[in-house]
């Protein structure tokens, strides 16, 4: 009898003396949660301390002014049992909820009972079943961490509608099906590794920012991010771990302008509806090079991994029965060929030799790109001025590398493509820079006996031409400058002559070529500085190539305002 009466007697008393107890926000809900999940009594929550739950109950990290729980963090407590939605629903002010690293089991509760939820951590438990689709109705949700459970079924597609999703971590579960096309611009953290997801990683801007470490260990998943193309045909395959912002359809619909036709195939500038511009190379049919689709695919994966500031990156490729397309970044400033010879109108006409500063800068860029290829075990195979593109800072970037046999070198005709055959082509390229003449091979035939005097003669013409031009700085060139020019020219001639050695094994390696060019450049900076300003300026060109703007005085006519005259000036 007494036992029955006690609550009736006590309750009004407490109500009078401890009004906080009765109105203490979420105490009842938390005690119910404890009694359902905390069999080992790890949480020292007691009814008689509930008036201080916001300050004294471990795990209650933050409350509102009126005593409602905002942040509940119950980690590593060996909690077990089933986290029913009914246990959570009274705690409807919660923003942050963590049950990380416990032993909770059963289904993930319907979290939409917590409409204010921003972050939820239920990782490293024993939850099973599906991810409730109702999660997508929690509009403030930013962080969803359900990793390390036994969740199965699909990732609910409606998750793509969560407007603020920042972090989605579902790794190490048993999820199946395809990845929904997540494209929230807020998304920054994604981990889907260690599931059983399949199909193509959707090509969206948001998903393209993640690399393989977000997707690995899903045996049936494919996509650029994990370097596993989804099929041999029909699709545009992106390389280098980055999915593109365009599809094959976009590319085929793009307006195309022919940039050039070469041995390897034709090259187009493709402007897509979105305004995005790429360079597309359409390989000549029957395509030389790798014969089977699988060989071609492997080759493109290898070439697509080559990345260097002096290489034009291969971004994507496509192959079908009748067609092989390669997609590169577009370089609006054209090629070295067009720089020397002008673009389009009279492409085989004699151009203008470049100032030695430009020759050295270009030579260093080209040789550095070549060195990277050779160190990667690759051979360019088709090095020539039309395959050197000018970047935004007028750095020289090699393109068309490693594609196919294109036996254009007449002297000596290489039986196969080797690093020394690239070096030979480099020697030819250097002569083209120095003389402005092409096709150089024929000219080399005639002048092989005395390349230096031929080159000097070609440059003499130019000097006369520019001296007669209306440019006072050209005629007032100092004797010191002439000497510098002569020593540069001599250095460049020595390098090209070495590269053109008939016996392949006596040609310098790319490493040696780069070193020789850097030495020649370094001397130039030191001597010019000491003579023109009266003090020696420390040379820093050995490691950081000067910018094109240092040498811009030699830009030829098609870029030419008057002060960018070709004449040598210092």
Ligand X SMILES: *[C@@H]1O[C@H](CO)[C@@H](O)[C@H](O)[C@H]1NC(C)=O
The least distance separating ligand X from the CB of residue 372, rounded to whole angstroms, comes to: 19
Q: In what order do the strands lie in the sheet with 60-63?
A: 60-63, 69-73, 96-98, 119-121, 143-145, 167-169, 189-191
When binding is defined by CB under 6 A, the residue of 22, 531, 546, 569 that contacts ligand X is 531
Crossing angle (nearest 10°) for helices 451-468 and 440-447: 120
x/- string (CB under 6 A) for ligand X, residues 387-426?
-----x----------------------------------
Residue ranges in 211-230 that form contacts with ligand X under rule CB under 6 A:
211-214
When binding is defined by CB under 6 A, the residue of 49, 105, 497, 527 that contacts ligand X is 527
User: Which is it for the CA torsion 385, 386, 387, 389, positive or negative?
Assistant: positive
Residue ranges in 171-190 that form contacts with ligand X under rule CB under 6 A:
171, 174, 176, 183, 185
The least distance separating ligand X from the CB of residue 440, rounded to whole angstroms, comes to: 22
Check binding of 167 to ligand X (CB under 6 A): no
Q: What's the helix, strand, coil split of the chain in %, to 5? A: 40, 15, 45
Distance CA 34, CA 180 (A): 36
Q: For ligand X, which is the closer residue by CB, 51 or 386?
A: 386
Distance CA 396, CA 546 (A): 12
The least distance separating ligand X from the CB of residue 105, rounded to whole angstroms, comes to: 19
User: Which is it for the CA torsion 531, 532, 538, 541, positive or negative?
Assistant: negative
When binding is defined by CB under 6 A, the residue of 6, 47, 205, 410 that contacts ligand X is 205
Check binding of 349 to ligand X (CB under 6 A): no
Crossing angle (nearest 10°) for helices 479-499 and 510-533: 180
Listed ranges 107-115, 210-218, 264-272, 561-569: which one lies at the site for ligand X (CB under 6 A): 210-218
Distance CA 405, CA 438 (A): 21
x/- string (CB under 6 A) for ligand X, residues 462-481?
------------------x-
Check binding of 344 to ligand X (CB under 6 A): yes
Annotate 248-296 with DSSP letters as a single string: HHHHHHSEEEEEEE-SSEEEEEEE-TTS-EEEEEEEPSSP-S--SHHHH
Listed ranges 134-142, 169-177, 284-292, 351-359: which one lies at the site for ligand X (CB under 6 A): 169-177
Check binding of 319 to ligand X (CB under 6 A): no
Q: For ligand X, which is the closer residue by CB, 279 or 484?
A: 484
Residue 145, φ and ψ in degrees, nearest 5: -120, 105
- First-to-last C-alpha distance (Å) of the chain: 112
Listed ranges 155-163, 206-214, 319-327, 489-497: which one lies at the site for ligand X (CB under 6 A): 206-214
Q: In what order do the strands lie in the sheet with 150-151?
A: 80-82, 103-107, 126-129, 150-151
For residue 465, how many other CB atoms are within 10 A of its CB? 13
The least distance separating ligand X from the CB of residue 438, rounded to whole angstroms, comes to: 17
Check binding of 247 to ligand X (CB under 6 A): no
Listed ranges 24-32, 191-199, 261-269, 500-508: which one lies at the site for ligand X (CB under 6 A): 191-199
Check binding of 196 to ligand X (CB under 6 A): yes
When binding is defined by CB under 6 A, the residue of 266, 333, 418, 529 that contacts ligand X is 333
The least distance separating ligand X from the CB of residue 527, rounded to whole angstroms, comes to: 4
Residues 6+ apart with CB under 8 A from 440: 428, 431, 432
Residues 6+ apart with CB under 8 A from 105: 80, 81, 82, 125, 126, 127, 128
Check binding of 484 to ligand X (CB under 6 A): yes
For residue 482, the number of C-alpha atoms closer than 13 Å in the C-beta half-sphere is 9
Distance CA 321, CA 62 (A): 63
The least distance separating ligand X from the CB of residue 330, rounded to whole angstroms, comes to: 9
When binding is defined by CB under 6 A, the residue of 102, 191, 319, 435 that contacts ligand X is 191
Check binding of 559 to ligand X (CB under 6 A): yes
The least distance separating ligand X from the CB of residue 459, rounded to whole angstroms, comes to: 18
Q: For ligand X, which is the closer residue by CB, 277 or 288?
A: 277
Binding site for ligand X (CB under 6 A): 171, 174, 176, 183, 185, 191, 193-194, 196, 204-205, 211-214, 332-333, 343-344, 392, 480, 483-484, 527, 531, 558-559
């Amino acid at each position: 009898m007494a036992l029955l009466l006690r609550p009736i007697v006590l309750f009004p008393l407490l109500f009078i003396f401890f009004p906080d107890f009765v109105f203490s926000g979420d105490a009842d809900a938390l005690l119910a949660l404890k009694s359902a999940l905390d069999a080992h009594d790890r949480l020292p929550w007691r009814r008689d301390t509930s008036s201080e739950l916001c300050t004294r109950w471990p795990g209650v990290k933050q409350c509102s002014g009126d005593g409602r729980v905002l942040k509940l963090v119950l980690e590593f407590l060996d909690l077990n049992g089933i986290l029913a939605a009914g246990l959570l629903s009274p705690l409807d002010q919660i923003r942050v909820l963590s049950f990380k690293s416990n032993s909770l089991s059963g289904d993930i509760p319907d979290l939409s009972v917590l409409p204010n939820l921003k972050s939820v951590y239920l990782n490293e438990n024993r939850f099973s079943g599906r991810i409730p689709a109702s999660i997508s109705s929690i509009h403030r949700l930013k962080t969803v961490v359900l990793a390390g459970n036994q969740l199965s079924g699909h990732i609910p597609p409606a998750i793509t509608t969560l407007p603020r999703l920042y972090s989605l971590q579902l790794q190490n579960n048993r999820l199946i099906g395809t990845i929904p096309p997540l494209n929230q611009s807020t998304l920054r953290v994604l981990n889907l590794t260690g599931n059983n997801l399949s199909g193509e990683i959707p090509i969206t801007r948001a998903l393209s920012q993640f690399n393989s470490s977000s997707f690995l260990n899903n045996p049936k998943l494919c996509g650029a991010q994990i370097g596993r193309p989804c099929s041999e045909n029909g699709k545009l395959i992106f390389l280098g771990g980055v999915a593109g912002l365009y599809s094959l359809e976009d590319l085929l619909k793009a307006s195309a302008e022919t940039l050039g036709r070469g041995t390897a195939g034709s090259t187009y500038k493709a402007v897509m509806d979105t305004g995005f511009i790429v360079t597309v190379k359409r390989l000549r049919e029957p395509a030389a090079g790798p014969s089977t689709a699988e060989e071609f695919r492997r080759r493109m994966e290898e070439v697509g991994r080559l990345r260097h500031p002096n290489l034009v990156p291969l971004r994507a490729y496509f192959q079908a029965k009748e067609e092989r397309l390669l997609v590169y970044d577009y370089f609006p400033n054209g090629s070295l060929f067009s720089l020397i010879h002008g673009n389009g109108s009279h492409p085989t006409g004699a151009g203008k030799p470049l100032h030695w500063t430009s020759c050295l800068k270009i030579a260093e860029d080209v040789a550095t790109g070549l060195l990277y290829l050779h160190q990667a075990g690759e051979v360019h195979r088709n090095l020539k001025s039309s395959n050197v593109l000018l970047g935004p800072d007028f750095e020289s970037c090699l393109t068309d590398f490693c594609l196919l046999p294109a036996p254009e070198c007449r002297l000596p005709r290489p039986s196969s493509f080797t690093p020394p055959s690239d070096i030979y082509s480099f020697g030819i390229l250097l002569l083209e820079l120095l003389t402005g003449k092409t096709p150089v091979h024929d000219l080399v035939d005639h002048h092989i006996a005395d390349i230096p005097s031929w080159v000097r003669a070609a440059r003499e013409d130019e000097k006369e031409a520019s001296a007669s031009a209306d440019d006072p700085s050209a005629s007032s060139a100092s004797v010191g400058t002439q000497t510098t020019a002569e020593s540069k020219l001599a250095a460049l001639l020595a390098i090209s002559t070495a590269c053109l050695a008939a016996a392949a094994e006596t040609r310098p390696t790319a490493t040696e070529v780069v070193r020789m060019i850097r030495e020649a450049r370094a001397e130039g900076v030191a001597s010019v500085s000491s003579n023109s300003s009266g003090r020696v300026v420390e040379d820093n060109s050995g490691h950081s190539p000067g910018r094109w703007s240092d040498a811009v005085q030699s830009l030829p006519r098609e870029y030419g305002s008057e002060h960018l005259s070709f004449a040598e000036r210092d």
